[in-house]
Chain A
C-alpha cells in the first residue's frame, strides 16, 4: 500500500498565467463591436438625414451647408405633405395592400412550406426550383399582361389586384423561408403531440406553429416591407387607387424638395414600426433557440 500522492495542482502553482489569448479575445470583441457600429451607421445615417430634412422648415432646406442637427424643427413640411391630395388615400391603400399581401401569402405559403418540409412527394425538388421562376421575371414583364387580364375581369385599379401581384412576388420566399422554419421544428415533438391526443391540426396549432413563430415573423417582415415598398407593379396596375409609394412617385417630378423628403420619411416609418413589433417574436422566447 502506498500513501496518497500530493495533489498535482499545488505543485504547478508557480506557472504564470498566459494572458495573451485573453487579450486577443478582448481585442476581437472590440473589433466586432466597431464593425457593428459601422454597419449600423451605414443604415442609420441616410435615415437620420431624411428625418432631419422632413422636420425642418422649407426655408432651412435651401440653406447651405445642410444642417446635421434638427435645429430648425418644424412640422410644416410634414403637414403639407400629409394634407396634399392622395396621401391619405394612398396610405390607406398601402396598408390594405401590405396587410392583404401578408395574410394571403401566409395563408397560401405556410401550408406549402409545411408540405415541403414534412412530406416526401414526387417532384419536390423541381417544385422548389420552379417556385423561384416568378422572381426571375422582371416586375414590368409580369405587370403589363396582368394589367390587361385585370382590365378584362374588371379588377383593374383595385387594391385586390395589387395584393395578388404582390402575393405572387412574395410567395416564393414565403414558401422557402417557412419550409426551412418548419424543417427546424423537430418532428418528434409533433409526434409527441399526436400521441398525447392531438389530431394533425391540433398538433400543428399547439406545437408546430408556436415553435415556428419566430421564423414565420421574419418571413412576414420581409413580405410586409416588400409589399410596402413595391412601386412599379402598383403603378401599372392602378390609376386612382394608388398605394402610397405609387402616389409619391407619380407626383415626384413636379413636387418641391421638401415634399420628397417628407414622403421618403413617411414611407420608412410604418415599415420600421412593423419590424419593431415583430422583433419580439424574432428573438427567441424560451431562453434559447429551439432545441
Chain B
C-alpha cells in the first residue's frame, strides 16, 4: 500500500512537437481509487506508462510510498497493470497467464493455484483456464488481463480501460464487482477510461484530462455538478452540459428577444456563457419569467424524455419526465434551476467565481 506523488511530469515522444503530458502534477492517496478521464489522445496512457516505468519522463518526478521511482525499471516498482491492448502471453495457457506475476514473485505452487482459482471464479474464467489466449474472445482475453493484475499483491494497481471490450451487461455487472474487489484489497489504483459513467461510478476522485493537462481534479459529483471549464462540462454527462451565450444587463442574463433569466448579483455586465445540465431544466406552462423555446426533436428514452429545443437560435438539451407529453414544433417554456446555473467566460471557457 502506498501513495503516488507525481510532480511536474513532462513527456514529449521523439518526433512529436506537442508534448503528450504538459507539466502534470497529481497526488493519489494511499488506497485511493483515482480515475483518469479524457478524450482519446489526451495523454492518459502516457501518464499511466510513466507511473509504470515503461516510459521515462523528460522532466519531473514520480514517487510511490515516499520512494523516488522516476527512473526505476518497472520490475522494481512492485506494481501491477492491465494493458489497454491486454498484452496476455500468447504462449501460455490462461492459468499460467493469471499466475505469471505470482510465479515471478516465487510464490509456492499451491498458493498460486488457490489465487488463480479465486481470480478465475471472480472473472468467470474458470471454464477457460486450460485454453490458450488465441482460443478466447476479445472480452475473455481482457478479463484474463484483469485477473492477472488483481492476483498480485502490488503497491499500486494501474488499469488502462480494462472494461472497454465487455458487452454492456457484463460491463455493468463487472463495474460493480471491480469496485468491490478494489475496495476489498485496498490497493492504490489509477484507472484510465474515456467512459464518463465508469469514471463517475468508480472513482474516489476523478482527474479530467485535456490535451496533456489536468483540466479538473475532484470528487465525481463535484466534477459533474461544477465543471471547472466548458471543456469538462461538455465532456462529462450524457447528454453533456448545455452552454448558452448571453449578455448581462440590468441584473439579467439575456439570450435574445424575450428570453432571459435573473443574473446572480456579483456578475458584471457584458458577454457571458452559462452552463446548465439537461436535467436541471424543466418545462412549465407559460409564465412571463420563463424562457420560451421551440421543440426541435423529441427522443423518448424510457426512464426520461430528451428534448432538443431552440432558444434564440441556440440548441439546448432538456430532460423531462416521460409522463410529460410534448411534440416537435411546439413552443415550451423553460425553467432553469437557479442553483444549477454555472457561469463561464465566453473567451477562455473558464468558470467564473460567482458560480463555482
Task: Using A196-B104, A197-B104 as known contacts, say yes or no to A188 and B85 having CB atoms under 8 A apart.
Answer: yes
- Tell me whether A189 and B88 are in contact (CB under 8 A): yes
In-complex Cβ contact of B75 among A198, A207, A291 (8 A): A198
Q: Name the residue of chain B whose CB is nearest to the CB of A188.
A: B87
A111 at the interface (CB under 8 A from B): no
Report the stretch among A62-70, A217-225, A234-242, A280-288 that lies at the interface.
A280-288
> What separation, in Å, do the CA atoms of A192 and B146 have in the docked complex?
12
Q: Which residues of A contact B118 (CB under 8 A)?
A: none
Q: Which residues of B contact A200 (CB under 8 A)?
A: 73
In-complex Cβ contact of A286 among B86, B91, B100, B101 (8 A): B91
B191 at the interface (CB under 8 A from A): no
Instruction: Tell which of A196, A198, A199 has the most Cβ of chain B within 10 Å.
Output: A196
Closest Cβ of chain A to B4, distance in Å, is 15
Q: Which residues of B contact A189 (CB under 8 A)?
A: 87-90
B105 at the interface (CB under 8 A from A): yes
Within B38-66, the residues touching A (CB, 8 Å) are 52-54
Closest Cβ of chain B to A200, distance in Å, is 8
Q: Name 18 A/B residue pairs within 8 A (Cβ), A-sorted.
A: A186-B85, A188-B83, A188-B86, A189-B88, A189-B89, A189-B90, A192-B87, A192-B88, A192-B148, A194-B54, A195-B75, A195-B80, A195-B81, A199-B75, A202-B75, A286-B132, A287-B132, A287-B134
Q: Name the residue of chain B whose CB is nearest to the CB of A197.
A: B104
- Tell me whether B75 and A192 are in contact (CB under 8 A): no
Q: Which residues of A contact B134 (CB under 8 A)?
A: 286-288
In-complex Cβ contact of A287 among B52, B80, B135 (8 A): B135
- Tell me whether A196 and B85 are in contact (CB under 8 A): no
Closest Cβ of chain A to B331, distance in Å, is 29
In-complex Cβ contact of B79 among A195, A288, A290 (8 A): A195
- Tell me whether A198 and B80 are in contact (CB under 8 A): no
| Chain B residues near A (Cβ < 8 Å) | 14, 52-54, 73-75, 79-81, 83, 85-91, 100-101, 104-105, 132-135, 148, 152
- Tell me whether B100 and A196 are in contact (CB under 8 A): yes
Q: Which residues of B contact A211 (CB under 8 A)?
A: 90-91
Closest 9 CB pairs of A and B: A197-B104, A196-B101, A188-B87, A192-B87, A194-B74, A288-B134, A287-B134, A286-B132, A210-B91
In-complex Cβ contact of A195 among B52, B85, B86, B91 (8 A): B52
> What separation, in Å, do the CA atoms of A198 and B76 have in the docked complex?
9
| Chain A residues near B (Cβ < 8 Å) | 120, 186, 188-189, 191-200, 202, 207, 210-211, 285-288, 290-291
> What separation, in Å, do the CA atoms of A196 and B90 have in the docked complex?
16
- Not counting A195-B75, A199-B73, a sample of 20 additional A-B residue pairs whose C-beta atoms are within 8 angstroms of each other reads A120-B14, A186-B87, A188-B87, A191-B83, A192-B89, A192-B100, A192-B148, A193-B89, A194-B54, A196-B100, A196-B104, A196-B152, A197-B75, A197-B105, A199-B75, A200-B73, A207-B89, A211-B90, A211-B91, A287-B132
> What separation, in Å, do the CA atoms of A191 and B80 have in the docked complex?
11
- Tell me whether B90 and A194 are in contact (CB under 8 A): no
- Tell me whether A290 and B90 are in contact (CB under 8 A): yes
- Tell me whether A285 and B80 are in contact (CB under 8 A): no
Q: Which residues of A contact B86 (CB under 8 A)?
A: 188
> What separation, in Å, do the CA atoms of A272 and B323 have in the docked complex?
81
> What separation, in Å, do the CA atoms of A194 and B81 have in the docked complex?
10
Q: Which residues of A contact B133 (CB under 8 A)?
A: 286
> What separation, in Å, do the CA atoms of A188 and B148 have in the docked complex?
15
Task: Using A202-B104, A210-B91, A211-B91 as known contacts, say yes or no to A194 and B152 having CB atoms under 8 A apart.
Answer: no
Q: Name the residue of chain B whose CB is nearest to the CB of A190.
A: B87
- Tell me whether A196 and B148 are in contact (CB under 8 A): yes
Closest Cβ of chain B to A201, distance in Å, is 11
Q: Which residues of A contact B148 (CB under 8 A)?
A: 192, 196
> What separation, in Å, do the CA atoms of A111 and B105 have in the docked complex?
27
Q: Name the residue of chain A whose CB is nearest to the CB of B55.
A: A191
- Tell me whether B90 and A191 are in contact (CB under 8 A): no
Q: Which residues of A contact B101 (CB under 8 A)?
A: 196-197
Q: Which residues of A contact B14 (CB under 8 A)?
A: 120
> What separation, in Å, do the CA atoms of A257 and B5 have in the docked complex?
82
In-complex Cβ contact of A194 among B73, B88, B135 (8 A): B73
Instruction: Tell which of B86, B87, B132 has the most Cβ of chain A within 10 Å.
Output: B87
Q: Name the residue of chain A whose CB is nearest to the CB of B135.
A: A287
- Tell me whether B81 and A192 are in contact (CB under 8 A): yes
> What separation, in Å, do the CA atoms of A202 and B152 have in the docked complex?
18
